[in-house]
């Protein structure tokens, strides 16, 4: 009973601080932060290195009664969660939910991620529950004073994001790194082990992603084999067959890949075949690409965009005269202003004797 009374005495009156939540997704990694936001309240210049946000560790005289870091907020402890494994300033942190503390110094900070997320501030801090400690630097004398303590996200990329605590004229940033390929692959594997593992389009998308990333090829081949199994689909799509061919080729099984690709070309529509030809060009397979463009032109009686394909193919082969001829034919067929403008530029380039890039 005395403990309950003491806890009530220590509780800061309601509405003194704001409870805040923010989050961001990077790839398939969800980051969430929950904190209580104290205000400066006229104390500018009297926040850092004082009893409000002290340097080093301080015995708070209650709870664990041990030297404790700052709670990086107010009231209950600040909590951060990461749905996948991440790195903090390059150091590994497993997926999970953590209390976040900071040991402040005049010239640096130690970020602390701790397992006890139910504590009141750092009164009950236990260092043996620390999972990660990372040193960083703080940016002082920011041009604008931040009244309420906040956590902001900056500089997001496919593999990282910066989080910064901002309060008064201090900013304490750190970088969260994410192995996007690995996390997305694990996410896909999880999905494919459930109901989506019985859905051919989902299996096809999963295999295609692995093909593009050139990872998990054995697993991808298993998925695409299921997606093209006759018991699921009567007639596999061009996309599914071309994905299977691409995986087989990366695995070094070129002969089987070529046979699968021949079947794919028989099922493909004019646009699918055209785009496959362009893929071959991007891989410097000029002769193979030219054969595909010619087949597409013949199969679809010169319909759009087969002349545009031959324009690209002939240019890559060094036959700019034939490329120009098909560029002009393609211009007559172009379905919209964007394609017309593009072809006009290509015609001008070819007329100047310059091959297309």
Residue 254: band (very low, low, confident or very high) from pLDDT cuts 50, 70, 90: very high
Question: Would you state the pLDDT for residue 121?
Answer: 84
Q: 290 and 305, same structural domain?
A: yes
Whether the per-residue pLDDT at 9 is higher than 50: the answer is: no
Q: 123 and 12, same structural domain?
A: yes
Joined tokens for residue 180: 């996007």
Sequence-separated (6 or more) residues with CB below 8 Å from residue 242: 260, 261, 264, 268, 272, 276
Q: 21 and 165, same structural domain?
A: yes
Question: 341-351, pLDDT tens digit by residue?
Answer: 999 999 999 99
Cβ atoms of residues 342 and 352 within 8 Å: no
Determine the Cα angle at 37 with ends 34 and 42, to 5°. Answer: 170
Question: Would you state the pLDDT for residue 42?
Answer: 93
Peptide bond into 305 cis (omega under 30): yes
**356 lies in a domain?**
no
Question: 311-340, pLDDT tens digit by residue?
Answer: 999 999 999 999 999 999 999 999 999 999
Question: Would you state the pLDDT for residue 315?
Answer: 96
Q: Count up the domains in the chain and report the number.
A: 2
Q: 289 and 346, same structural domain?
A: yes
Q: 268 and 230, same structural domain?
A: yes
Looking at the chain, the whole-number percentage of residues with pLDDT higher than 70 is: 95
CA gap 223, 201 in Å, rounded? 10
Q: What is the SS3 assignment for 302? A: coil
Q: What is the SS3 assignment for 19? A: strand
Q: 310 and 199, same structural domain?
A: yes
Decide: pTM greater than 0.85.
no
CA gap 182, 172 in Å, rounded? 29
Question: Would you state the pLDDT for residue 8?
Answer: 34
- Count of H helices and E strands in the chain? 11, 13
Domain that holds residue 229: 181-351
Question: Which residues are bridge partners to 101 per DSSP?
Answer: 112
Residue 357: band (very low, low, confident or very high) from pLDDT cuts 50, 70, 90: confident
């Amino acid at each position: 009973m005395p403990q309950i009374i003491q806890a009530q005495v220590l509780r800061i009156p309601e509405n003194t601080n704001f409870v805040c939540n923010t989050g961001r997704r990077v790839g398939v990694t969800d980051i969430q932060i929950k904190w209580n936001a104290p205000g400066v309240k006229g104390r500018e210049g009297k926040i850092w290195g004082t009893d409000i946000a002290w340097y080093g560790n301080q015995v708070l005289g209650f709870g664990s009664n041990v030297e404790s870091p700052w709670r990086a907020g107010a009231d209950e402890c600040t909590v951060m969660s990461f749905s996948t494994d991440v790195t903090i300033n390059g150091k590994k942190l497993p997926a999970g939910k953590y209390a976040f503390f900071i040991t402040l110094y005049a010239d640096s900070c130690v970020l602390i991620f701790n397992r006890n997320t139910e504590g009141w501030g750092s009164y009950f801090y236990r260092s043996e529950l620390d999972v990660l400690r990372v040193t960083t630097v703080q940016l002082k004398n920011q041009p604008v004073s931040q009244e309420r303590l906040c956590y902001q996200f900056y500089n997001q990329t496919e593999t990282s994001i910066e989080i910064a605590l901002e309060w008064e004229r201090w900013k304490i940033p750190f970088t969260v790194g994410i192995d996007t390929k690995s996390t997305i692959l694990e996410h896909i594997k999880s999905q494919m082990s459930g109901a989506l593992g019985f859905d051919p389009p989902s299996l096809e998308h999963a295999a295609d992603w692995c093909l593009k990333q050139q990872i998990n090829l054995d697993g991808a081949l298993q998925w695409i084999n299921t997606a093209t199994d006759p018991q699921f689909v009567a007639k596999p799509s061009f996309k599914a067959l071309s994905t299977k061919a691409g995986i087989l080729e990366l695995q070094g099984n070129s002969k089987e890949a070529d046979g699968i690709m021949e079947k794919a070309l028989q099922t493909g529509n004019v646009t699918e075949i055209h785009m496959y030809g362009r893929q071959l060009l991007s891989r410097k397979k000029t002769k193979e690409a030219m054969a595909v463009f010619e087949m597409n032109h013949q199969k679809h009686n010169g319909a759009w965009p087969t002349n545009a394909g031959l324009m690209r193919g002939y240019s890559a082969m060094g036959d700019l005269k034939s490329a120009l001829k098909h560029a002009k034919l393609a211009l007559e067929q172009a379905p919209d202003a964007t394609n017309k403008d593009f072809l006009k530029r290509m015609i001008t380039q070819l007329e100047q004797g310059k091959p297309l890039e």
